[in-house]
Structure 1
Amino acid sequence: MLIYIIIGLIVLLIIYIFILYNSFVNSNNMVNEAFSTMDVYLKKRWNLIPNLVEIVKGYASHEKQTLEEIVKLRENDYENMSNNDKINSYTETYPRVEKLMALAENYPELKASTQFQNLSENLTKAEDEIANSRKYYNAVVRMFNNKVEMFPNNIFAHIFGFKSKKMFEAKAEERENVSVKL
């Protein structure tokens, strides 16, 4: 009789491990899906930035430093960047792009430009889409991290090679108001 109890417990443990592993895989896939959705919007924004730089360059040539910083931050090939590099690139370019957008207030011709207006609208839409997908991504990452870090799951997560994921957090400069000094 004892042997049946031991075999039963071993079978239950194996079933628990299978279910737990599948749960890790499911959560990991949800994180990857959430990032892929956000990545579409990050790529869209990434592609809008050179057009913004070119338009602003024609109207505000003495803003050379800001323009050069943005161009330098875009030197990497987006397709070959890791997810963390894409997030870092976004957080690095965000305040500079915001500064460029704020510059339009000081250049009426730039602000009146149809190209600039269209680009500004598209950039605003992209930022809104990024913000929404960022919320979802962070929620999914939080659920995954809870699963991976809580006992006893953390033991099995370590055995299976699952590690906590990085949240998409705003840097301090992203939280500050944009100031434009001329």
Structure 2
Amino acid sequence: MITLVVAGVVAVLLLLLILFAVTTYNGLVRRRGAVDNAWAQIDVQLKRRHDLIPNLVETVKGYAAHERQTLEAVIAARHHAVAAQGPQDQAAAENMLSGALKNLFALSEAYPDLKADRNFAALQDELATSENRIAYSRQYYNDAVLAYNNGIQTVPANIVAGMTGFTARVYFQTPGEERGPVQVRF
């Protein structure tokens, strides 16, 4: 009789352990999926931004054709950004592209006709909207990475995560040299 009770208790404990492992695993899979989805959303917004840039460059070319170096820098930065892989490389490439775009927009100050051009203004507004969407997508991605990384590193889920191959994800961060204070010179 006692062996039957012990066997029943062991069976219940084993069933609870299996249920815990399955539930924990499924939760980790959902969190990993949220991270992958968040990265895909960043990719969508970056593609939108990258698609706007050739139109912007063509518009500027008509007004400031002799600013070839600036235009080529934007094109090269866009190419590098499109080819970037992973959060760290993507962040560095996008920051390089943002810098090149700042130089391009600075040209509009030297060319009043360009600044007044409707196409240029519309593209500039679209790009500003894209930048806001990208910033939100990056924040959402980092929030998803935080939830996922916390999930795989906390006890007892870390046991299931370690046994099933879950690894930490990287945050989308600004490169170290760009985190410093902004230099303003007159």
Query: Which residue of 166, 173, 179 corresponds with 2:178?
Result: 173
Q: Which amino acid aligns with 1:173?
A: E
- Runs of 4+ with >6 A deviation: 178-181
Structure 2 residue corresponding to 1:37, chosen from 24, 37, 41:
41
For normalisation by structure 2, the TM-score amounts to 0.81
Q: Describe the superposition over 1:94-148 as per-residue Cα deviations: whole angstroms up to 9, x where unpaired.
A: 2211221233122212111111111101101111111122222211111111112
Deviation at residue 93 of structure 1 after TM alignment = 1.0
Q: CA deviation at 1:170?
A: 2.5
> Post-superposition shift, 1:177?
5.0
Q: Structure 2, unaligned stretches of length 5 or more?
A: none
CA shift in 2, pair 1:138/1:128, >3 Å: same
**1:152 is the counterpart of 2:141:** no
Cα distance change, pair 83–67 in 1 and its aligned pair in 2 (3 A): same
Whole-angstrom CA distance in 2 between matches of 1:33 and 1:142: 14
Partner of 1:57: 61
Identity %: 36
**Alignment CA distance shift 1:49-1:39 (3 Å):** same
> How far off its partner does 1:45 sit?
0.2
| C-alpha contact 2:84 2:93 (8 A) present in aligned 1 | no
Give the structure 1 partner of residue 26 of structure 2: 22
Normalization by structure 1: what TM-score? 0.83
Gaps of 5+ in 1: none
Between structure 1 and structure 2, the one with the greater Rg is: 2
Which of the numbers 104, 111, 114 marks the counterpart of 1:110? 114
Q: Aligned to 2:147, which of 126, 134, 143?
A: 143
Partner of residue 71 from structure 1, selected from 50, 67, 75: 75
Aligned pair count reads: 180
| Mapped partners of 1:51, 1:39: distance in 2 | 20
**Superposition RMSD in Å:** 2.8
Matches of 2:174 and 2:159, distance apart in 1: 31
Question: Which stretch has the larger CA shift, 162-171 or 110-119?
Answer: 162-171
